[in-house]
Amino acid sequence: MSEFQIAALFIAVLVGFLLIRIPIGIALIAVSFGGLWSMFNWDIAWGSLGIVPYNFANSWVLSSIPAFLLMGYICYHARLTQGLFHAAQLWLSGLPGGLAIASAFGCAGFAAVTGSSVACSAAMGKIAVPEMMRHRYNPELATGTVAAGGTIGALIPPSILMILYGIISRQPVSQLFLGGLVVGLITLFAYVLLIFVRVKLDPNLAPPVVASAKPQEKLRALGETAPVL
């Protein structure tokens, strides 16, 4: 069999493994091992099984991932996440759907310290959703805003997904971060515009919140975001 035929055969085997619900990681390892064994020999396949995963994991760039997760963990338990939402709430609550918009900005702020969409949604969900429900926001709008806002965590630097993509595709992570920052901000303002328009069309989704904060309180709330910056 030619190398092309072997590759086509093992791609078909991979698809078959996925269809019978074999875990993706195991399926990829098995197919790669089998392909190397077929095209070369047992020694090369067995050697690659030990060397390739080590070479991939033995990367200085990957060491930033646990550091970002630790930073997000510290920010959450130091209540810095709550400070982000509180500042956004005081400044934006007067807008239609202001608490939902504040939640989107809070997600973007927390995304800049953790790099994880799941962590971003989980942290903001515990803070923003109960606040929106307390003001009688539509539950779908409240939870949907935080779920969608959490995806910004994969775009705004530091992004764990971009680090992994950069290593796998051999692209400069710094350039990916710059591109992700632009796309992340565009996504944030698209969410804000969507919330604003939806609430304008149907005010029942988000009853207005009476803004009673004084200018001094708003400025003090901005100070709460200083540690995150």
User: Distances in Å between the alpha carbon of 33 and those of 88, 134, 145?
Assistant: 52, 55, 43
Please tell me the distance from the alpha carbon of residue 229 to that of residue 222, in angstroms, as a whole number.
11
pLDDT for 91-107, tens place per residue? 877 788 888 888 888 88
**Reported pTM:** 0.68
Mean pLDDT of 52-80: 77
By the 8 A CB rule, do 199 and 205 touch?
Answer: yes
pLDDT for 25-52, tens place per residue? 888 888 888 888 877 887 878 788 778 7
Please tell me the distance from the alpha carbon of residue 190 to that of residue 95, in angstroms, as a whole number.
16
Residue 112 burial (C-beta neighbours within 10 Å; 0-12, 13-18, 19+): buried
In one-letter notation, the amino acid at residue 49 is: L
